[in-house]
Amino acid sequence: DAMVIQNPRYQVTQFGKPVTLSCSQTLNHNVMYWYQQKSSQAPKLLFHYYDKDFNNEADTPDNFQSRRPNTSFCFLDIRSPGLGDAAMYLCATSRDQGLPSYNEQFFGPGTRLTVL
C-alpha cells in the first residue's frame, strides 16, 4: 500500500518552463519534506512543512517554491527550470519531531525531472 505518493514519476520540461511536482501521503503525518537528489549524491533538503509552518533551507534557490494546501498534499513548484535543476525530487513525511520513532522519514518513489 503506497503511503507517500509522488506524481508524475517522470517529468520532462523545457528550459524556463514552469513545472509542478506533487506529493500526497496517507499517513496523516504532520511534517512533509522536499529533497533534491542528483546522480550519485546524497539527497539535499530544499524545505519542509511542519503542519502549515513553512521552513526554507538557507541555500534553497528562490526558483523553488512549495505549497501545502492541506495535510495530505504538498507541491513543489519550479518557476524557471534550468539545466542544473535536472534531478530526482524526493518527497518525505514524518509523524512529528522529538523521539526517533516520531521523526523517522518515509520517502516517496521520487519524480525524475529532465530539463531540455
Partner 1 sequence: KNQVEQSPQSLIILEGKNCTLQCNYTVSPFSNLRWYKQDTGRGPVSLTIMTFSENTKSNGRYTATLDADTKQSSLHITASQLSDSASYICVVSAHGGSQGNLIFGKGTKLSVKP
Instruction: Give the footprint of partner 1 on this chain (CB under 8 A).
Output: 4, 6, 31, 33, 40-43, 45, 47-48, 50, 55, 57, 88, 90-92, 94, 97, 100-101, 103-110, 112
Residue 88 forms beta bridges with which residues?
37, 112
Residue 105 forms beta bridges with which residues?
none
CB of 16 to partner 1, least distance (A): 26
CB of 59 to partner 1, least distance (A): 13
Judged by beta carbon, residue 57 or residue 77, the one nearer partner 1 is 57
CB of 85 to partner 1, least distance (A): 18
Judged by beta carbon, residue 18 or residue 115, the one nearer partner 1 is 115
